[in-house]
Amino acid sequence: MKKANTEEFIEVQTKDKTTRHFPISFAQYSTLLANYLNSGKGGFCEAPEVEDKVMDKISEYLSHISESGPIEIERPLISDDMKQALKNDEWHSNFIDIALDDLVNLTKAASSMGIKSLIDLCCAKLACMCMDKTEDEIFTVFNINETLTEEEKVRLREENKWIEENLE
């Protein structure tokens, strides 16, 4: 932990071995940061699964919610349009309006850092992308070219049942 002026910071090292300085107040939104603070360890907090580009996005998100708080996302989602699903919240709908690869990376990073409100936002975006679509349309959206057997489909539905449960 370092001090700059009167505010204390957590040094976070990314997968790319660069270090970012996050205010300790960000720990209230991230279990990774909170666990690091509670451990009393020196040095830096490692985020080995998070690339620099994604950490920039996480920093932007944490900076925003530290000022205005995380958004409450109504469940079930009220629309397949993200802006409507977020009740016209401009900042969050613009923030999450990113390419699919970036969204997947952000979702994984939010999960590895334990940022529940960001996980919820990413999952809501993914759910909006699937809402009211056929299986074939979903395959197209996610660039899935492989044909799955019925057995594989059943297994995937069972393994990912938690997604539907979290959206209800």
Q: Does residue 43 register a pLDDT over 80?
A: no
Tokens representing 40? 């009393």
The distance between the two most distant Cα atoms of the chain, rounded to a whole number of Å, is: 60
50-132 topology per CATH: Potassium Channel Kv1.1; Chain A (3.30.710)
Q: Token pair 């489909």 is at which residue?
A: 153
Q: pLDDT tens digit string along 111-143?
A: 999 999 999 999 999 999 998 888 888 888 888
The pLDDT of 16-30, averaged and rounded, is 95
Assign 165 a pLDDT band (cuts: 50, 70, 90): low
Domains of the chain, by residue range, sit at 50-132
Q: 28: left (phi > 0), else alpha (psi -120 to 50), else beta?
A: alpha
Amino acid 90: pLDDT? 94
pTM: 0.83
Q: In angstroms, rounded to a whole number, what is the distance separating the alpha carbons of residues 106 and 115?
A: 11
Q: In angstroms, rounded to a whole number, what is the distance separating the alpha carbons of residues 120 and 89?
A: 15
The answer to whether 87 and 74 have CB atoms below 8 angstroms apart is yes
Cβ burial, residue 44 (10 Å; 0-12/13-18/19+): middle
- Helices 100-113, 31-39: axis angle to 10 degrees equals 30
Q: In angstroms, rounded to a whole number, what is the distance separating the alpha carbons of residues 150 and 162?
A: 20
Q: Does residue 6 register a pLDDT over 50?
A: no
Percent of the chain residues topping a pLDDT of 70: 92
- DSSP result, 52-69: HHHHHHHHHHHHHHHHH-
**Dihedrals phi, psi of 20, to nearest 5 degrees:** -120, 155
Q: pLDDT tens digit string along 56-110?
A: 999 999 999 999 999 999 988 989 999 999 999 999 999 999 999 999 999 999 9
